[in-house]
Structure 1
Amino acid sequence: MYAPSMWTTLKLIGLLALCYGAIIVWMYFSQRGMIYLPRQALVATPDEIGLPFEDVRLTNRLGTEIHGWWLPVEHPRFTLLFSHGNGGNISHRLESLRIFHDLGLNVLIYDYSGYGQSHGEPGETATQADARAAWDWLVENRKVSPDSIILFGRSLGGAVATALTAELAETHATLPAGLILESTFTSVPDMGASLYPWLPVRYLARYQYDSETALSALDVPALFLHSRDDDVVPYTLGHRLFTRYKGRKSFAELQGDHNTGFLETGQSYAGALDSFLATLAQ
């Protein structure tokens, strides 16, 4: 008398398992589109906010042409290599360029492969090659001393900047003067597990961006910034990256959400950056 009910239950379980499996397959193959959100059209240029700049064309070690902007200042305190987040392109970072300019920094900001006017397609190997090409351009073309360069990475860019620092250390190259990691994460698998705890994300991850491991072998002065109200990258991941780093470090808490926290924090944000620059200059 219970057979029909049992059969219905088994069918329901089978349907749920099929749906769960379909979600896993979708998750596995859609990761690139979830991680990289490029836009090709540039919506503005630095001269629209009164900042002189130079268009820069680089070629990374994969043979891909990369586009960036070089924004010099007179008597720079340091030179900042800017690795941006996973969305948009360099033209969406004018507010940050203004802040860095006012702090007395030369800035090289570049677009990853497949972003803005950069050719190719984004990927973990590609972003690492893009960052190294930008570093080499500063050191080899602009003759900027490596120990006067600060690597800045926001969100995904924090992982890119960290990977670049680790690569320089592995090749026994001169390391940057400092590292600024804003609103970033420990690794992509950690991010996925936080966002989708009901999925076996760690087994599905095709991208790693393992900043926690990369930082474990480094001793570069580092400033970490994160907001408790970050709606994209959990504060716990950003703060864990800070607490587990064994090098010289400091932490500044931002206010506001993931994309506008540095603006909502206001003068305190620029103040934290200025204090960090001052310690590097000592």
Structure 2
Amino acid sequence: MPLTTFLLIITAAVALYLLFIAYLYLVQARHIYCPTAEIATTPDKHGLKFESVNFESSDGLMLHGWFVPRPSIDAEKERVVLFFHGNTGNISDCITTLEMFHHLGLATFIFDYRGYGQSQGSPTEQGTYDDAEAAWAYLLRDRGIKPEDVVVLGRSLGAAIASAQAARHPPGALVIESTFTSAPELAAEMFRIFPARLMSRFKYSVRDNVANIHCPILIVHSNDDDVIPFHHGTRLYEAANEPKTFMEISGEHAQGFHTSGPQYLDGLKQFLKGAL
């Protein structure tokens, strides 16, 4: 092969490599945030009473959520799950989760981040943190819930947001499911031939967050997770402070709570019994 031809091939390959790096850098947000606007169903269609809630973020966006009360007012305290859903869809995809919490006798406040469902704006990393802060403030200010009676629970990307919120404002307990140590670390594993750590526009450093959290924490991960490998869960457990609990479940990414339903519910019940 002539040297000039070889050099042209190498130059073209390098150019394509750099173009793909630029493409990955520019489209990251599309892969991190996959919202839908349509509310496909509501809790009342599944036998759950609920209140539709609108509340405002610190930068003036109107956010939307649902407050699902606990099934009985006989309990001494109203304990509330502040739930952070994953990166796809919206709150209407979480009915099964709401039913599970209701079964455990817990109230739930679930909300959509900016750009999801009926919430205004477009999602950003800082925006999701601001929205978490607004949801927390709504529970404490508008509903009179005490911090120690709030269970902050997040799934997948929602766990990254939930852990950041719990690091800022300690709740009664924190539960994080199916999440990563950090966005750059996960990206580096997914795109091994690219400088993914350097390319990542998102931090979402869950490991740093849990290292600064001192409330009881439950880390849940499935050994079948093919999106966020199991070792992310175990590494988060290693980084977390006591008191901490690890629950291994089965099922695909962010679906283990359903696949391992009885085990998941019992584990969550036992954790909350000791934590609250």
- TM-score, length-scaled by structure 2: 0.96
What is the CA distance between 1:77 and its match in structure 2?
A: 5.8
Aligned match of 2:144: 143
Instruction: Tell me if structure 1 keeps the 8 A contact 2:223–2:249.
Output: yes
SS at match of 1:58: strand
- Residues in 2 aligned to 1:24 and 1:235: alpha-carbon distance in whole angstroms: 27
SS at match of 2:49: coil
Amino acid of the residue matched to residue 107 of structure 2? N
Runs of 4+ residues deviating >4 angstroms: none
Runs of 5+ consecutive residues of structure 2 not aligned to the other structure: none
Aligned match of 1:177: 172
Aligned match of 1:81: 82
Instruction: Tell me if structure 1 keeps the 8 A contact 2:101–2:108.
Output: yes
Aligned match of 1:231: 226
Cα RMSD of the aligned pairs, angstroms, is: 1.1
- Residues in 1 aligned to 2:275 and 2:224: alpha-carbon distance in whole angstroms: 29
SS at match of 1:44: coil
Q: Does 1:54 align with 2:51?
A: yes
Q: Percent identity?
A: 39
Aligned match of 2:30: 33
- Residues in 2 aligned to 1:27 and 1:238: alpha-carbon distance in whole angstroms: 26
Instruction: Tell me if structure 2 keeps the 8 A contact 1:77–1:104.
Output: no
What is the CA distance between 1:247 and its match in structure 2?
A: 2.9
What is the CA distance between 1:5 and its match in structure 2?
A: 2.4
1:107-153 deviations in Å (ceiling 9; x for gaps): 00000000000000001111011111111010000000111101000
- Residues in 1 aligned to 2:213 and 2:275: alpha-carbon distance in whole angstroms: 16
Q: Does 1:68 align with 2:65?
A: yes
1:184-242 deviations in Å (ceiling 9; x for gaps): 11110011011111110111111100111122122110001001111211111122111
- Residues in 1 aligned to 2:90 and 2:263: alpha-carbon distance in whole angstroms: 26
Q: Does 1:269 align with 2:264?
A: yes
Instruction: Tell me if structure 1 keeps the 8 A contact 2:237–2:246.
Output: yes
- Residues in 1 aligned to 2:240 and 2:193: alpha-carbon distance in whole angstroms: 29
**Which shows bigger deviation, 197-206 or 82-91?**
197-206
Aligned residue runs from structure 1 range 1-282, under 5 A: 4-73=1-70, 74=72, 75=75, 78-168=79-169, 175-281=170-276
What is the CA distance between 1:9 and its match in structure 2?
A: 1.6
Instruction: Tell me if structure 1 keeps the 8 A contact 2:156–2:254.
Output: no
Amino acid of the residue matched to residue 51 of structure 1? L
Instruction: Tell me if structure 1 keeps the 8 A contact 2:155–2:254.
Output: no
Amino acid of the residue matched to residue 49 of structure 2? P
1:53-97 deviations in Å (ceiling 9; x for gaps): 000001011111100000011236621000000000000000000
SS at match of 2:245: strand
Amino acid of the residue matched to residue 92 of structure 2? S
SS at match of 1:108: strand
1:2-52 deviations in Å (ceiling 9; x for gaps): xx5222221111111011001110011101101000000010000111000
- Residues in 2 aligned to 1:96 and 1:115: alpha-carbon distance in whole angstroms: 18
Amino acid of the residue matched to residue 19 of structure 2? A
- TM-score, length-scaled by structure 1: 0.94
